[in-house]
Each structure stands twice: as C-alpha cells, then as structure tokens.
Amino acid sequence: MKAKGWRDLPPGSVVLEGGSAVKFKTGSWRAFRPIWIEENCIQCLFCWIYCPDMAVEVKDGKRTEFDYDYCKGCGICALECPGRKGQKAIVMAEEGK
Amino acid sequence: MAKVVAVTGNEACANALRQVNPDVCGIYPITPQTDMMQRFASFIADGKVDTESILVESEHSSMSACIGAAAAGGRVVTATSSQGLALMWEMLHIASGDRLPIIMPVVNRALSAPLNIHGDHSDAMGARDTGWIQLWSENAQEAYDNTIQAFRVAEHMDIRLPAMVCLDGFIISHSIERMEYLEDQQVKDFVGPFRNFLPLLDLDKPKSYGPLILTDLYHECKRAQHEVMTKVADVVLEVAKDFEKLSGRKYGIFETYRLEDADIAIVILNSAAGTTKDVIDEFRDKGIRAGLLKPRLFRPFPYTEIADALRHTRAVCVMDRADSFGGYGPLFMEVSSALYQAEKRPLLMNKIYGLGGRDYLPSHAAQVLTELTTVAESGKVSTIKEYIGVRE
Amino acid sequence: MATPLTLKELSKKEDRFTHGHRMCSGCGAPIVVKIAMMATEYPVVVSNATGCLEVSSCISEFTAWNVPWIHTAFENAAATLSGVETMYRSLKKQGRFDKDKEVKFIAFGGDGGTYDIGFQSLSGAMERGHDMIYICYDNGAYMNTGIQRSSATPLGADTTTCPAGSVIPGKLRARKNLTKIMAAHDIPYVAQASPSHWLDLAKKIQKAHEIKGPKFINVIAPCNRGWRSKTNDAIQLSRLAVNTCYWPLYEIENGVTRITVTPKEKISVAEFMKPQGRFKHLFSPENEGLLQRVQDEVDREWAKLQKEAKTD
C-alpha cells in the first residue's frame, strides 16, 4: 500500500472512523498464549471482564474462543480464572512451542 | 445605517463580539484586555447574546476550553494579553493544528520580566509561529472591523484556522476614539451562521481529535497546515471586498501611505502608524519623498506583495515594538526576508521603539526619517539594529 | 433502562473502547476504561489527557474509541472537556442540538495529568460545575515517560526520579490524597474504585452519570512496568490494594461518606507491596522503619475514613 501523502490527510489530523484500531492487530506481541479448556469453564466471564484487550469472545452471554488477533498474552485471564473444582479453565503456554 | 460612536478599542471589540453572538466564550482577566471580556460578560448577563461563557481559572484553561468547544462544533471566542497569551502558547499550536477557527482579540502588552502592563508587541510576536492568522489594527475602528472580518476568514471552509486580532494595549484598548459601528443585523448577515466542520458532537460519526502521529505522518501534517496558510491572503482580500461594500472602509493585506513614489519608507505596525503618517506629511511638505507601509496581515506574511510595494524605495526602516534578543526585530526579519528576493531592493535598517508602553513620539519618526534620508544619499547603513527613544 | 450490571448482560454490549489499542500487555488502565465505558449507557464524549492511555489508544488513523474523543494536551483534559460540555449546553439552549438527546462527558487522565500538571484545570472545571465525570487512572507515577515520581507515588516507592539508592530509599513523601481534595470541592459525587471490584466500579460510574454536575472517580490502575510486577497481576494487585486498605473503596455523595467495600480481613500492606519490585528495597532490614511508616500511614487513613463514613 502506498504511504499517504500530505494531500491525503484529513484536516486537523482528525481520525474520522471510530473504533478503527480494530484494524491494528496486537496478537503478534504475545510471548505466551492462553489456552481455554472448555470442560473446566464455569462461564463466570471473569476472563472477559478483566481482559485489558477485549480478546475474549462472548456470544449470547457465553465465552467462546480467545481472539488471538488481539490477545497480548498477559495472563490475567489465567490468573483470575476460578476454574472448576480446582482445575483452571485457562492455562498459559509459551508461543511457538 | 452606521452609528458614529466615541468608544475605546476594548469596547469596540466587545461590541463586535456581541454583534457576532458566538456560541461559547472563555473569559479570564488580564490587563489591558480585562474590560473587553467583562463588557462581554455584561452582554451575557443582560441576555443580549446567546453565548455560554466559561469563567476559567487561567488562560491555559481558557484556550483549552475554547479548543474543546470549537471541536464540539460552534463559534468560539476569547481574548487575552501578554502573560495570558504566553501561558496559552502550548494550546495555540493545538488550536491551529486541529484546524479550529477560534477568534481571539489580543490586546498587545509587554512581557515580564520586569512586569509591565503597557503596550508593546512582544506577546503576539512570540505567537507568530503558532499557526494562527494574525490581523493587526491601528485604531479602534480597525480593531472592530478586523474582529468582524476575522470570523469570515477563519471560518472559511478552505481555511478553518484560528485568528488573533491585535490592537495596542492602552493606546488603543483604553483610549476613546470616534468610530462607526455597523448595525447588528448587518454584522449578523455579514458573518453568517456558523458552518460545522467535523464536529465532535456529531454522535453518529464518532471522531477522534488529537491523535499521536510520529515520524510516519507528522511531517505531512505540517505540510498540509502550511498549504492552508498559503490560501489565507486571498480569502482576507475577498472578505475585505465584501466588507468594503458594507462599510465603505477598504482593507488590504497591508496599508500603504504615500509610498508609491517614496524614496524612503517606514514599515510599522498598529497604532504608531498614525503618528508616523503625520510626520511623513511634514517631510513631504519639506520636499522629502517619504512613505509608509503598515502590515495588516502578519501571519501569513505577504512576502511577495510587501517586497513589490517596497522595492522601488532607496532606504527603509522597519520599526519593531518587540525585540528578539540576539536577533533583529521580528517585523524586520520578515521584511528583509521579503526584500532579499527582489533584484533591486532598498537599504534596510531596524529600530526598536516603544517597549513596555514607552511613548512613540513624532520626534522619533522624524529622527528615523532624517536618518533614512542620509542613508539613501550615502548608500550606507551604519548600524542595522538600534533602539530609539531609549535613555543612555 | 440501564443494562443490569451482570457480566452476562454487559457482554452483549458493543465495545465503545475497542481492541487494537496499544497499551502494554497486562496494563490495568484499559480494564478501568472498558468497565467505565460499559457502565455508560448514554451517548458520551471522552476527553483524554496526554499519557499512556492517550498515546496508545489513538495513533495516526487508528483509534480505539468508538465514541467522540478529544485529546489536546497533558494538563487540561478537564478544561478541554468543559469546553465541549459548554458548547453542548449552548447548542441545546439555542435549539441547535436534539433537545431529547442526553449526552454525557467523561475525562480520563493518569495520575501525572490529574494530581500534578492537570490539577488546576481539574479543580477549575469542578468548581465551575460542568456536568462531567473525571476519572483518574492512578498508577502512581509518570509511566508514559518511564516511571518518574508523581505526587501519587506512594511512600517508599522506587521510581526513576526518586530511585532507591544507597543513601535515599526511594520516595520520602506520602501520596497526596487527591480523592479527599476533590471531596473538599464540595462536588456532588467523589469516589475511589478498583478494577478488581468491577461491579463496584461499574455501579459508581452508573450512579455518577445520574448525578448532575461535576463528579470525580479515582481508580487504581496497576502498571506492571512501573510497579516491577508481572504482566498477569493487575487484578490481583488492585485487589490486594483494596484488601490491605491501601486503596479503600468508598464514595462521598453530597458530603456523606460511605465505604462501599470493606475487606473481610484487613491484611498487612506488605502483602500488596511484596510482589512489586518498586518496593523491594523496603524489605531489607535497614528500611524496616520506612516499611512500618507505610503501614502506619495506611492504618491512620483507614481509621480516619471509617470514622468519617456513615455506617449503614
């Protein structure tokens, strides 16, 4: 894509499209990857509310897969996950392994 | 139609603002601007305008609030002087960078230290690189007329830049002069309704004002901003033409006085131009072909046009009521830059006068014109920059 | 009608602060922001002080804000927003804005932009009575520029401008109590909150929106870079901040103080500090006295707050 020239810029450098950051994927920052273990999930949605990157997808009030396009791998979800009977529903694994 | 009145410069500007009826204004006191906006506050209190005022706790917040209000989508004004303008400095760049047509009368006053409340141009000259349009005014009439015209220029859809209208502290802001007011309706019609451009309050199209832009695009942003400035002079002239139809008063991007056939000339801003014109008449009576150029539009600076107007003279003195310590006066720097491009150009000198409200007397103008006569004859300038009216 | 504050219901709402922002991995601030935006039912305009949140959420043509948003400078998020809010009132009064549409206004600033450089602008906007919520995300230092001391930096903390050296053990002054200072402005609503207690935070935002006039909410926002902690502990640390009473959760509504969350068991502030590298030096024997001073300060403030608070 050709980089923008000065004539192509919106006046006052105003960003005209709300929420356009979704086009910027932050998933590549990840060193560790959260893995969702569905059978241990009680659907408390703590992972969803505490995720700083809105990277937990929820459909009809139930969490589904992680959105790895944006997950930065901080691990808050895994730490906060209460799991089921002491078994975590989210564990962290090193990327690339 | 026009109403002849005897008013101060501050009162004239306050009335211009009343006639324009802005949506929001920032108010903060500073001598000698204070009574302009306090008069405007009375208009608000008496229901003569629809304006909502923001009685801020500093000029920095005043300009910040004005930026927020202008980005929200509406007509915004404030006014200031001296330290107040200096405190706004950071925000001035943001107002212009965000392309917000805020109008601000600046009642020119010296800068501290030492503390001084009187008229000089150090404040506005310090803001010359902030991306604001600057219109300068010789007297109350011009301050009033410039204030009204500034809205049309700043809000022009090709421009959308903030503009300051400069008038001399005390000399103009507090002296009563004879001038003419337009009818309220005439001003209203002339300025027209505010036209929105990327308003923040357009909730259906959420916009973000003020992104972080680094090496990839910042340079381009500034280039685009420069481009807008190149269009300002034409708009100023177009607006002046309309204004002349309305008022009978003619404005350009600068004024010349007996300059067409002049051998020597003085370039000077604002109120001191009046005194200078009188002395020029005396010199003309003595057979000396003297003239004057008084810039009105200082930002953007009309380099080519000013060079064309001065190139035929033999010697020119640029008079600055502000200094750039270790440099020439700011007006001198512009005029000499303008003339450098001319093949045939006059000899140039720079006099610093009237700092902190020091009186500019006819004798000072006479002294300068006499020196210019010598310079023109000898072809030599002994000292480029000198203070005049200063005690040794 | 307001969305019930359950995670199930909240999760059905569209994000007004989106992913794709570039805050550090594990940062507490975006959690604060997302909860605040979720709890806001109304159309809203956001103002943002220069700082981590601002530089990471709106870069070139990428904005994480799906609502109107404005950033102008560091020290003036409140003043800037007061301008937006005033224009809204002016246009509404003149019939140039939909009279049935109610818009809310939120300013976000970090502790540097709120406690320090933006303090005057905040104080002025609150005193003028603008209808807005100012939310400070307090991570206890200038984190965007690389962990410099602010007046929100806690006693004893190591920062790059008050480093724990061989002679001086970090910051020697206690934090400024900004929440109380804002309460002293006699504004209708002031609160302190934590992202760990998301419901408490969301309720405070909802409540604040229903109160006309200026509101101030101070929210702790762990910064793993500056606190020298792990990327996964923002919620854990903010919970510890509450349970140690280092960061009590309370609100002051029309002058009446109410503690909204009382820890079941008040634990030692050392529990909050231990996982943070910025306090590491306080756990060596020569700094025992300073560590005790931190505990004493927390105890004193907590006792004071309990005394002020209305018991339900």
How far is the C-alpha of B210 from the C-alpha of B212, rounded, in Å?
A: 7
CATH (domain of C236)? 3.40.50.970
How many structural domains compose chain C? 1
Q: Decide if B211 and A5 are in contact by the 8 Å CB cutoff.
A: no
Q: Which residues of A sit within 8 Å Cβ distance of C?
A: 15, 17-26, 29-30, 44-46, 48-55, 58, 60-61, 67, 69-70, 72-76, 78-80, 92
Tokens of C42: 């109304």
Nearest to B189, CA basis, from B246, B241, B104: B246
Q: Is B281 an 8 Å CB contact of chain C?
A: no
Is residue C105 in a domain?
yes
Q: Decide if C31 and A24 are in contact by the 8 Å CB cutoff.
A: no
A14, closest residue in chain B (CA to CA) = B209
How far is the C-alpha of C9 from the C-alpha of B185, rounded, in Å?
A: 55
The tens place of each residue's pLDDT in chain C, 312 residues long, gives 578 899 999 999 999 999 999 999 999 999 999 999 999 999 999 999 999 999 999 999 999 999 999 999 999 999 999 999 999 999 999 999 999 999 999 999 999 999 999 999 999 999 999 999 999 999 999 999 999 999 999 999 999 999 999 999 999 999 999 999 999 999 999 999 999 999 999 999 999 999 999 999 999 999 999 999 999 999 999 999 999 999 999 999 999 999 999 999 999 999 999 999 999 999 999 999 999 999 999 999 999 999 999 765
Pairing type for strands B208-209 and B254-257 reads: unpaired
CATH (domain of A66)? 3.30.70.20
Q: Decide if A61 and C66 are in contact by the 8 Å CB cutoff.
A: no
Tokens of B374: 């010598």
* Model confidence pLDDT, tens digit, residues B347-372: 999 999 999 999 999 999 999 999 99
Sign, CA dihedral C89-C92-C98-C99, equals positive
Q: Is this structure's pTM higher than 0.95? A: yes
Is residue A79 in a domain?
yes
Q: Is C101 an 8 Å CB contact of chain B?
A: yes
The superfamily CATH assigns to domain B3-247 is: Thiamin diphosphate (ThDP)-binding fold, Pyr/PP domains (3.40.50.970)
How far is the C-alpha of B217 from the C-alpha of B93, rounded, in Å?
A: 17
Structural domain including A67 reads 40-97
Residue A1's pLDDT is 67
Is residue A86 in a domain?
yes
A10, closest residue in chain B (CA to CA) = B221
What b/e sequence results for B97-108 when a residue is b if at least 16 CB atoms lie within 10 Å of its CB, and e otherwise? bbbbbbbbbbbb
Question: ∠ CA A57-A63-A66 to the nearest 5 degrees?
Answer: 45
Is residue C4 in a domain?
no
Is residue A32 in a domain?
no
Domain residue extents for chain B:
3-247, 254-387
Q: Is B220 an 8 Å CB contact of chain C?
A: no
Q: Which positions in chain A touch B210 (Cβ < 8 Å)?
A: 13
How many structural domains compose chain A? 1
Which residue in B209, B210, B220 is closest to A4 by CB distance?
B220
Which residue in B24, B91, B200 is closest to C70 by CB distance?
B200
* Domain B254-387 belongs in CATH node 3.40.50.920: yes
Q: Decide if C72 and B67 are in contact by the 8 Å CB cutoff.
A: yes
Q: Is B205 an 8 Å CB contact of chain A?
A: yes
Q: Decide if C30 and A53 are in contact by the 8 Å CB cutoff.
A: yes
Which residue in A48, A50, A58 is closest to C235 by CB distance?
A50
Structural domain including C133 reads 13-308
* Model confidence pLDDT, tens digit, residues C58-108: 999 999 999 999 999 999 999 999 999 999 999 999 999 999 999 999 999
How far is the C-alpha of A31 from the C-alpha of A75, rounded, in Å?
A: 10
